[in-house]
Amino acid sequence: MPDSLTISLKGDSVGLDDLTEALGDFTAVLGEVERDVTGRRDIEWKLTALERASATVGVTPVQPQGVLLDQRAEVIRAVVDGLGTLTERPDRPPHFSDRALVCTRKLAGRRNGRVSDVVLVGAIESHPALRVSLTPRLVAHIDELIGVSGHAMGALEGRLETITIHDQHGFTIYDRYRTRGTRCICDAETFDAIRSLLGTRVLVYGQIGYDKSGEPTTIRVERFEALRTRDALPQAEDLRGLYAGSSVPACEHADYIREH
């Protein structure tokens, strides 16, 4: 079996955008590690597997012409071993630059309502295949390394799309404007109370961790509340004629509403 790397997005309804964005993150991580291992970036990665049902893509490295030192297996091992290290503990792996860590975090963060897991498998000739699942624990470890630059108490609103009990209890919320979700860490009691709200909008309060650009990445949940769906909120037509019989002049309706 030739040396290869395979990335799989697990889920029942993985979309084309999910796969395209994940492949972009994967390519960036591969390129950063390759450059650090070899001092160059000239390995050609050829497509060797493409499976639609499980959104699986496999690539194998081709030795560049004129380069005598073959470091293809070293690059593959550095990628898989590095991801394994990040899954276990918050230590920077060899050959992982800041950009490699950021892109790894983005790749692991592709878990959403459609993608239940992101898995990488590295195969090196005459060696057992190495398999790594990019868990929420990996995301937390990267946050400890470079991802979180500050904390503050606050509240975040979003749609609860994923829940997990792997490594620790938690869930992920997504707002309307950011494609990346916010990972919510909670205790078992909160988890039991909130998991029935999967698919609904929630407001969570707690200590928020922010990345260097000021975007929220994590929140340690202290309390939460369920929000009404947008369809359940008052609509414009519901207000029509509300003050038709009022003695308050139209120009004073806003003041009247504030006072009453």
Report the domain count for the chain: 2
What's the pLDDT score for residue 163? 86
| Same structural domain, 105 and 221 | no
In a domain, 249, yes or no: no
Same domain, 14 and 136: yes
Asked if residue 258 belongs to a domain, the reply is no
139 and 192 share one domain = no
Q: Which residue has the tokens 């979700």?
A: 181
Which stretches within the chain are classed as H helix?
Answer: 16-38, 72-88, 98-108, 136-142, 188-194, 236-239, 253-259
Q: Examine the domain organization and report whether 152 and 132 are in the same domain.
A: no
Inside any domain, residue 238: no
My answer on whether 56 and 179 are in the same domain is no
Which of these, 189, 185, 158, 181, lies nearest to 169 by C-alpha position? 185
Structural domain that includes position 36: 4-146
Phi, psi torsion values for 7, nearest 5 degrees: -115, 135
Residue 163 and residue 119 share a domain: no
Cβ neighbours around 93 below 10 Å, total? 18
Res 29: pLDDT? 94
Report if residue 142 sits inside a domain: yes
C-alpha atoms less than 13 angstroms from C-alpha of 18 in its C-beta half-sphere: 24
Q: What is the mean pLDDT of residues 206-217?
A: 80
Residues 139 and 160 reside in one and the same domain: no
If you average pLDDT over residues 208-234, what whole number do you get? Answer: 78
* Residue at 240 is within a domain: no
- pLDDT tens-digit series, residues 133-158: 998 889 888 887 876 667 789 999 99
**φ, ψ dihedrals at 112, nearest 5°:** -150, -160
- Asked whether residue 250 is assigned to any structural domain, the reply reads no
Q: How far apart are CA 135 and CA 108, in angstroms?
A: 7
- The Cα–Cα gap between 132 and 121 comes to 6
Identify whether the C-beta of residue 253 lies closer than 8 Å to the C-beta of residue 228.
no
Amino acid (1-letter code) at residue 225: E
Per-residue pLDDT tens digits for 83-103: 999 999 989 999 998 889 989
Q: What pLDDT score was predicted for residue 146? A: 76
Is residue 63 located within the same domain as residue 48? yes
